[in-house]
Amino acid sequence: MPDAIFADPRLARLYDAFDGPRVDLNLYLGIAAELEAASVLDVGCGTGSLAVMLASSGRTVVGVDPALASLEIARAKESRVTWIHGDATTLPALSVDLATMTGNVAQVFLGDDWEATLRGVRRALKPGGHFVFETRRPEHRAWEDWSRAKPRVLVGVREQLELLNVSLPFVSFRHTYQFPDGSVISSDSTLRFRSRPEIEQSLTRCGFEVVDVRDAPDRPGREHVFVARRVN
């Protein structure tokens, strides 16, 4: 079940405004160009920011997401993308050059669903195709910044981030939105912070080889960006 921040229609409509300019996505556009990827699958595409950019560059793009409210916003942005309501384990037959997972997507999988997702991504790739995704480095302790987060007000809506629980590798937090009409909607989320060796081992088990582990240029020292290749 997707978190309310993605699945509730009122919150999904706010997502792009609160997420701000997606300078983090330039990394993925650059890697797609570097790999000469003509076709891309964006797993957990949300409101479609990356998928739209990739389609605008002339690539064939598929975006998949389990949150229908977010996907409807994505569909309204770009008709050239094939939008699929679902997840990596429920995809139709594909054969893409590149698969991506941006933002926190890789960390929303808390248990066995992580490796099930990796296997689903592998099936969607061509032999030798690449998978690129990012995860927060546990040692950076991002949740300490979340605990000090101040409210933001955008488009007339007040957002408050609250840290709920830290029981590593799991960190739980809540976004609360207060609307001009006085209504309030909260969205609780949990992320799993995996170590680099843990991720590399899971990739190997699921039929990938790790080609590179990079830094995120806009967040130096905070993220691991994994570039993995499907083993034939």
Complete edge-to-edge strand list for the sheet that includes strand 60-65: 82-85, 60-65, 39-43, 96-101, 125-136, 223-230, 208-214
CA gap 88, 178 in Å, rounded: 33
In the chain, residues under CATH classification 3.40.50.150 are 4-137+194-230
Q: Which CATH architecture has domain 4-137+194-230?
A: 3-Layer(aba) Sandwich (3.40)
- State the pLDDT at residue 103: 94
- Strands 39-43 and 96-101 turn out to be parallel
Going by C-alpha positions, the residue among 43, 59, 49, 55 that lies closest to residue 24 is: 49
CATH number for 140-191 (one of 2.20.25, 2.60.40, 3.30.499, 1.10.260): it is 2.20.25
- State the pLDDT at residue 232: 83
94 pLDDT band (50/70/90 cuts)?
A: very high
- State the pLDDT at residue 21: 83
- State the pLDDT at residue 112: 97
In the chain, residues under CATH classification 2.20.25 are 140-191
pTM of the full predicted structure?
0.95
